[in-house]
Amino acid sequence: MIEPKNKNKLTFATIEVNAGLKKAIALSRADIIGELKESGMKGRGGAGFPTSVKWNLAAAAKGEKKYVVCNADEGEPGTFKDRLILTDYADLVFEGMTIGGLAVGSDEGIVYLRAEYTYLVAHLEEVLAKRRKDGLLGKDILGKKGFNFDIHLHMGAGAYVCGEETALIESLEGHRGEPRNRPPFPVDTGFNGKPTIVNNVETFAWAAAIYAKGGAWFNGLGTEKSTGLKLFSISGDCEFPGVYEFPMGITVADLLKEVGGSEAKAVQIGGASGHCVPAADFNRAIAFEDIATGGSIIVFGPDRDLLDIAENFLEFFCEESCGQCTPCRDGNPKLLEGVQLLKKGECSMQYLNELLSLAETMQLASKCGLGQSSPNAFVSIATHFKAEILGRTGKAMQGGK
């Protein structure tokens, strides 16, 4: 397996492993969460919930047993930065989880790893074994009496929806990965009904970095509402695909310049569940207050047929919908049919508008993030590229590859 060289240097490479844990271990629980609060970090999975708030709620929740869960079910199309973090910086992830355990009062961490990444298991087990040997996991960690914490891996079994935190918990409990109604939230009623924090791989790694370098350092980077740095998985029609680190708030145009993709006619930001951003909007910023993303960036060159892309994403959602709620289960096949009609040039504007109205219903009425976001790509393509998608006469005219 060939691992491409990072095109820009990641901050993770400069962080001294365990420096953050050593610092956190000397702090009170309130001060640990305070440091995270100062950093202003929002969850790196893409939903953008402030991590310190999540930790604080779990810390305040009553219960002897609590869990720290690392969401390593990286399944969003176009995302691969968690794979790189787990390969190169697993220590930082486990360190972040350990600090999380300290902050919320948990003694058990679980990494929910997607089945597709089974080849990482041996490496991760090795890192865990070394940490146990070095007194960084187990009983009385780093000599702190009563601070017990250990981490084990739990394998997923191939279901995209399990990246949604309540579906992930259902899966951990041995059920179908069907999202739960919220509230109650996992911080209160999580795995086995116990208070649980579920954070993304990257979030835990940044947490370790934040304790090593200070919350103020992180807060000074990025934008006011989206602090800090973020990893991006960049693929598609660009010269240098790979994992990049940029401060939050970078514009789409600047990002494209870095990766050699300035000719793009559109960029898919946020994976299949994200938005297709047209060239006219490349001055917009990638940040929670503008275009939010978990880090998936797919670049589309001038020759790409956007209906092929919408079709691919909708096929994905038809298959990955858990089937629990109607808008998502029945809506996605209807949208897919619509895209296929558009491809054949047999879709009227009236019908397209009906599809857009259906998409809105799905966004409003679906139970979880999967169904709520599955129409996004279709809606943005249908909104921004009407001239390209309507009135097709046949294959030769499409201009696609």
Helix axes 121-133, 90-104, angle to 10 degrees: 60
Mark the segment that binds other proteins (CB under 8 A) among 34-42, 129-137, 195-203, 318-326: 318-326
User: Which candidate, 393, 374, 235, places its Cα nearest to that of 304?
Assistant: 235
Name 9's Cβ contacts closer than 8 Å, sequence gap at least 6: 245
Residue nearer to other proteins on the CB measure, 116 or 354: 116
Residue 395 near other proteins by CB under 8 A: no
For residues 294 and 230, give the distance between their C-alpha atoms in angstroms, rounded to a whole number: 9
Q: Residue 184: is the preceding peptide bond cis (ω within 30°)? A: yes
Lookup result for tokens 């929002």:
42
Considering only residues 191-220, where is the footprint of other proteins by CB under 8 A?
A: 192
Q: Are 288 and 324 in contact (CB under 8 A)?
A: no
Residue 189 near other proteins by CB under 8 A: no
Helix axes 349-365, 326-344, angle to 10 degrees: 160
For residues 95 and 151, give the distance between their C-alpha atoms in angstroms, rounded to a whole number: 10
Tell the smallest beta-carbon distance from residue 9 to other proteins (Å): 17
Size of the site for other proteins (CB under 8 A): 52
Considering only residues 139-158, where is the footprint of other proteins by CB under 8 A?
A: 154-158
Q: Residue 77: is the preceding peptide bond cis (ω within 30°)? A: no
Mark the segment that binds other proteins (CB under 8 A) among 54-62, 75-83, 133-141, 217-225: 75-83
How many C-beta neighbours within 10 Å does residue 170 have? 20
Helix or strand run (H / E) with residue 109: strand 108-113
Each residue 272-291 as x (binds other proteins by CB under 8 A) or -, in order, gives x-------------------
Tell the smallest beta-carbon distance from residue 357 to other proteins (Å): 26
Considering only residues 224-283, where is the footprint of other proteins by CB under 8 A?
A: 233-237, 241-243, 268, 272
Tell the smallest beta-carbon distance from residue 386 to other proteins (Å): 21
Considering only residues 82-121, where is the footprint of other proteins by CB under 8 A?
A: 82-83, 115-119
Residue 166 near other proteins by CB under 8 A: no
Residue nearer to other proteins on the CB measure, 157 or 280: 157
Lookup result for tokens 């992930």:
168
Binding site for other proteins (CB under 8 A): 1-2, 4, 74-80, 82-83, 115-119, 154-160, 171-177, 192, 233-237, 241-243, 268, 272, 298, 304, 308-309, 312-313, 316, 319-320, 322
